[in-house]
Chains A and B, each alone.
Chain A
Amino acid sequence: MRIAQVLCALLVASGCAHAPGASGGAEGAAGKAARDRFLTSFALVEPATRGAGMLSVHAGAYSRAGMNTRWASVRDSVAVVAYVGPVRALDAVLLGESAFVALRPYGLALTGAVPKGEGLGGRGLRFLTRPWDFSPPWVREAIERAKVEPVDGGGWRLTGQFEDAKMTHDFVLDLNDKSEPLRLRIQHDGDERSLALVRYGPVRRFDIGRRPQWVEWTRGTTRARLDIEEHERAKLAAIWHAPPPDPDWTVLSLDDPRGRELLHRLLGVIDEVTP
């Protein structure tokens, strides 16, 4: 009996001696439960959805606040339209790996395939345009593999890696004590600089389910915030291209270093490219 108690104490001590996380112990179990709650709420496959809100963007010399914004998401496509007053000011469309971004007041457009091997690539861009949806398998699996630790003051920190065949990106996802997302930081493997930082506002119930009231993206000097007013199922079978640019526009290809640099500035997603 005494030996059994000692063994039991050793086992408990052994568990407690591990770093807090999903690997074991009471905290590990609590962390795993927190992660499961998070995945249950925020990693369900979204059907076709649409939303509306107010967008502000600050990117170098470009700065716009109070843009009435509409977006839709269907499978691997995302489309965003933003208006300044009565004017359609911004179109951004991701159709699979193809991107089209139009800054209409500037007569400026970007088009082409998201370069492979840079930043998070097309799938990463799609995730970052709807960062409340953690259902893509590569995102969900990375979160399932992540180390879970409690955070002082409540909540949880998930630390892991997004991986594909060629690259690895470290991430840190902070959850509050209700397992709701607070902050997601993504960085290159071994690089202290953030590739992207996403902050999430308080969660509330929309027609589509529980989602953040606002989302803010930051990378370097680029910052964009979307205050979400509507988020619901959409009756869409597909996303269509945005209206084409006018003939007198400057249209930059993503093959063009200037085009890639502009995309970096606007979205703060893929790595800097030296022209």
Chain B
Amino acid sequence: MRRSAWVVMTAVTVLALGAPVEPRSAAGSDPASDVRAMVRTILDAPEVMSDVVLERSDPFGGDPDVERGKLWYLPGRGIRFKSSRTHGHDMVVDHPKEKFYLYSPNENVIYEAPFEKAPARIRKLIEDPDRVLEKNFRAVEQSRIIHGRSRHGYQILSTGLGDSLTSVAIWVAPDPSTRQLHWLSISTPADSLLIELRALTIRKKAEPGHLTLSAPASATVQPLDPREMLGRESR
């Protein structure tokens, strides 16, 4: 469960990194500043809600898989993604409760782990987004064809996060009318994920209840614990 969430949130983290002085766009603006402005409104918001379309490439050359859902991000509190698919999953990282949840409707099971089991960058994004903003990154303008239409956006060149992002290529693009973040592409040598944020809403007040799983009362809770898989000796 964690990796895609990690990728998504890492990308958001990358977008939130601070802006250096180079390079500049033809219009004279600083691409990194443009990106920073695009993302700053998200990181500074009490809460952000958005419909999300995830388009994941087939690592072996088949048609991409498309999944729709809803995203809630409450800086300082947590993150939730709920799939709109029939039997789609519901995932919550909740800092005040110190929990990381995944609800599987197919099994009617809530998988539960401590907050610290969530990926470090997701935790950082939740706990201290301002600190993330202190970092530096570089960006250049780049247009891409998305679903047959050219979209003006920005390729993130370097992140300041170092190691694990060296093999990850990130591209972002705003909604031309609102200038808010709308497209986010994360590519690795193995596959890529294109995220479209539709109807992005910046809320003036956070609603912690949005971090509540949709699981019914009948759902059972199981730990998300690798020790269960390791046999008798490790139990």
Report A's interface with B, CB cutoff 8 A: 50-52, 60-66, 68, 70-72, 79, 81, 83-89, 103-108, 230, 232, 234-236, 240, 242-243, 246, 248, 250, 252, 258, 261-262, 265, 275
8 Å CB contact of A236 from B4, B60, B107: B60
Consensus secondary structure, chain A interface:
strand
Cβ of A104 and Cβ of B2 under 8 Å apart? yes
B170 close to chain A: CB less than 8 A: no
Consensus secondary structure, chain B interface:
mixed
What chain B residues lie within 8 Å of A81 (beta carbons)?
59, 191
Cβ of B231 and Cβ of A86 under 8 Å apart? no
Cβ of B224 and Cβ of A258 under 8 Å apart? no
8 Å CB contact of A240 from B87, B104, B119, B189: B189
What chain B residues lie within 8 Å of A250 (beta carbons)?
226, 230
Which residue of B is nearest A259, CB measured? B230
Cβ of B4 and Cβ of A107 under 8 Å apart? no
Which residue of B is nearest A248, CB measured? B120
Cβ of B59 and Cβ of A70 under 8 Å apart? yes
Q: Mark B196-235, 1 if CB is under 8 A from A, else 0.
A: 0000000000000000000000000010111011111110
8 Å CB contact of B228 from A51, A62, A236, A275: A62
Cβ of B229 and Cβ of A88 under 8 Å apart? no
Say yes or no: A85-B62 contact (C-beta < 8 A), given A60-B229, A104-B2, A262-B231.
Answer: no
**Which chain B residues (104-118) contact chain A, with CB distance < 8 Å?**
104, 106-107, 109, 111, 117
User: Can you add 20 more A-B contacts, CB < 8 Å, to A87-B4, A246-B164, A261-B230?
Assistant: A50-B58, A50-B62, A64-B104, A70-B62, A83-B4, A84-B102, A85-B88, A86-B83, A87-B2, A88-B4, A103-B226, A104-B1, A106-B224, A107-B2, A108-B229, A230-B62, A236-B60, A242-B190, A258-B231, A275-B233
What chain B residues lie within 8 Å of A72 (beta carbons)?
59-61
What chain B residues lie within 8 Å of A252 (beta carbons)?
230
Say yes or no: A105-B224 contact (C-beta < 8 A), given A84-B89, A86-B69.
Answer: yes
8 Å CB contact of B54 from A86, A258, A262: A86
8 Å CB contact of B60 from A61, A71, A88: A71
What chain A residues lie within 8 Å of B3 (beta carbons)?
87-89, 104, 243
Cα–Cα distance between A66 and B103 once the two chains are bound (Å): 13
Cβ of A261 and Cβ of B231 under 8 Å apart? yes
Cβ of B230 and Cβ of A85 under 8 Å apart? no
What chain A residues lie within 8 Å of B224 (beta carbons)?
105-106
B81 close to chain A: CB less than 8 A: yes
Say yes or no: A108-B226 contact (C-beta < 8 A), given A65-B104, A85-B67.
Answer: yes
Which of B6, B109, B228, B230 has most A Cβ within 10 Å? B230
